[in-house]
Chain A
Amino acid sequence: MIKDYKHIFVFAEQRQGVIQPVALELLGIATTLAKTLNEKVVAVFLGDNIADQAQNLIEYGADEVIVVDHSNLKDYLTEQYAQVIDQVITAFRPSIFLFGATTMGRDLAPRLSARMRTGLTADCTKLEISEEKNLMMTRPAFGGNLMATIECANNRPQMSTVRPGVMQKNDRDANHDGTIVRFEPKFDESKFAVKMIKTVKEEKQLIDITKADILISGGRGVGNKKGFDQLYKLAHQLGAAEVSASRAMVDAGVISQDRQVGQTGKTVRPNLYFALGISGAIQHLAGMEESEMIIAVNKDKFAPIFQVSDIGIVGDVNKVVPLLTARLKKEMSNK
């Protein structure tokens, strides 16, 4: 019975026709899992007038793309999408089905898990295959204080939502072979109770700190907007840098929520992360400890942030930061 279920399926999330980064990240981890299992990576791609983009998914690692192109799928709506994926699962019987842990994936995947009466693990940060060939899904629990590894041994598909920004996408490979399959869904429109009035983009949330090479992140030690002005100056001096913050500064209204790093904010892994006046609560560390290099400045020499930093400096950020900015300016002009 369980043996009848094969291959790793990935929900290839698109919005307004644009394939989302998390879809490519899922193809990356799915490629690794597929190698261990000697199975295929299959992308499931839903939308309206999107078929011409399916080739991108192949170049990022899909061996097969199931395209469902229908006007009912223009905007994401739970029931419309759930009906299609339910039919795809019934027809193709995947062993594993991965979704991005986005507002879309975390809405759709639980609805489906209840429909299929199978297990679902939320917001995973690590996926592996066990000796018994089951998917081992690791995720933070208790506000990031603990990690838990979860298994779904007796039900298929094994379903998981995966935290954006954690898995590595494959390098694009124009020579990667794959097939594109069209799937024609049947809709029960009597179940469509939710209608989209409109989708509104908000300007303030357009800064994507997960894409920055360098993050200058401030916490309580920076304290206020004036302190953050100094951080913006440093970011400007470094070029490819963005300013981010700990939760305390977002709660205090000093900086907007889209710049928050941590368990309830964004997970980031820049090449360089400055933790300035951030003590390093577990919830914050959960969002940044995978950074390539971490430089921390904090007054308290026992601050937990020093346990994850490559260079720790015990000192006052409000003194160090302006000095550093001035010094960098000098270094650049000498070049």
Chain B
Amino acid sequence: MKIVVCIKQVPDTTVVKIDPIKGTLIRQGVPSIMNPDDKGGLELALRFKEEKGAEVTVITMGPPQADLILREALAMGADKAILLTDRKFAGADTLATSSALSGALNNLEWDYIICGRQAIDGDTAQVGPQLSEHLGIAQVSYVADAKVIGENKLEVKREIEDGYQLLEVKGKCLLTVLASSFKPRYMNVAGIVDAYDKEVEIWTADSIDIEESRLGLKGSPTRVKKSFPKGVKSSGEVYEVTPEEAVDLVVSKLKEKFII
């Protein structure tokens, strides 16, 4: 069994702060991490490696610094790492990103592709399904569990709003998985040492068979027209009072609004 896991390097948005005066993002000092859902995807692939002897390749598209998350993936137990990097990929929206990735995946042999559900910097959850369409294979998104139930057959648990679905998938497919369902392992010490001995393959736009018109900004049907900090509504009064006075205030407001 061969598995390719698509991962992305993202800024840790949980520590991003807003400059209260300028109203802009403070990105300085914000660490770059492996996207949590992708790390969950890698964990699932590594479980298949332990149980079924799967060979696990990780691939990322990004700037040269994204090498770091590939090393982390190798240290967790991935067998092979590919960095897809080229200025021609810059400015790609989800469609252009999925086109580039599909070119790379067409160069590889695989039975299953695993992606994270969504990246914490974009929250789109679009690249996985778009990639599976380009590759002409089935997709299952919001995956909470997956197991092999026969020759080329998976049973997949898919989380939905009010419960879950159990699905049977025949043949090659792409799964997008939830971090909350796959607690990732830590890197091990020997793995960390090995990770820096292993070679990360570097691929560019020339390595893949996708027309340039489908890559980067040129291949992106969507454009960001503007971005702006979230407007906050004007605040009301803030009172520093005793608990008893606080209750008086709240009760009179509730009466004013006919809630009580």
Asked whether any CB of chain A lies closer than 8 Å to the CB of B94, the reply is yes
A35 within 8 A of partner (CB): no
Give the segment of A42-50, A59-67, A116-124, A178-186 that binds chain B. A116-124
B186 within 8 A of A: no
Check A106–B125 contact: CB distance below 8 A. yes
26 contacts between A and B (CB under 8 A): A78-B139, A102-B161, A103-B141, A107-B139, A110-B127, A110-B130, A113-B95, A113-B126, A114-B95, A122-B123, A141-B123, A141-B227, A142-B13, A142-B121, A145-B13, A146-B230, A149-B226, A194-B173, A195-B170, A196-B167, A238-B259, A272-B257, A293-B257, A309-B236, A313-B239, A323-B247
A306 with B238: CB separation less than 8 A: yes
Docked-complex contact B133 and A193, CB < 8 angstroms: no
Taking beta carbons and an 8 Å cutoff, which residues of A are in contact with B? 75, 78-79, 82, 102-104, 106-107, 109-111, 113-115, 117-123, 136, 140-155, 193-202, 205-206, 214, 238, 263, 271-272, 282-283, 285-286, 289, 293, 295, 297, 301, 306-316, 319-320, 323-324, 327-328, 331-332
Quote the shortest CB–CB distance from B159 to chain A (angstroms).
Answer: 7
**What is the bound-complex CA distance between A118 and B246, given in angstroms?**
54
Cβ–Cβ contact B259 & A272, under 8 A: yes
A201 to chain B, nearest CB (A): 4
Contact A198 B239 (CB under 8 A): no
CA distance A18 to B227 in the complex (A): 37
Give the size range of B's interface with the partner.
35 or more
Nearest A residue to B30, CB-CB: A142
- In the assembled complex, the Cα of A27 lies from the Cα of B59 at a distance in Å of 41
Which of A78, A82, A143, A144 counts the most chain B CB atoms within 10 A? A143
Q: Give every chain A residue within 8 A of B243 (Cβ-Cβ).
A: 315-316, 319-320, 323
Q: Does B122 contact A (CB under 8 A)?
A: yes
Task: Determine the distance from Cα of A325 to Cα of B125 in the docked complex, in whole angstroms.
Answer: 42
New A-B contacts (14) at CB < 8 Å, excluding given A114-B130, A197-B167: A110-B130, A117-B95, A120-B126, A123-B123, A140-B230, A143-B16, A146-B25, A146-B228, A195-B169, A202-B164, A293-B253, A309-B236, A313-B239, A327-B251
Enumerate chain B residues within 8 angstroms of A323, measured Cβ to Cβ.
Answer: 243-244, 246-247
Per-position 1/0 for B221-238, Cβ under 8 A of A: 111111111101101111
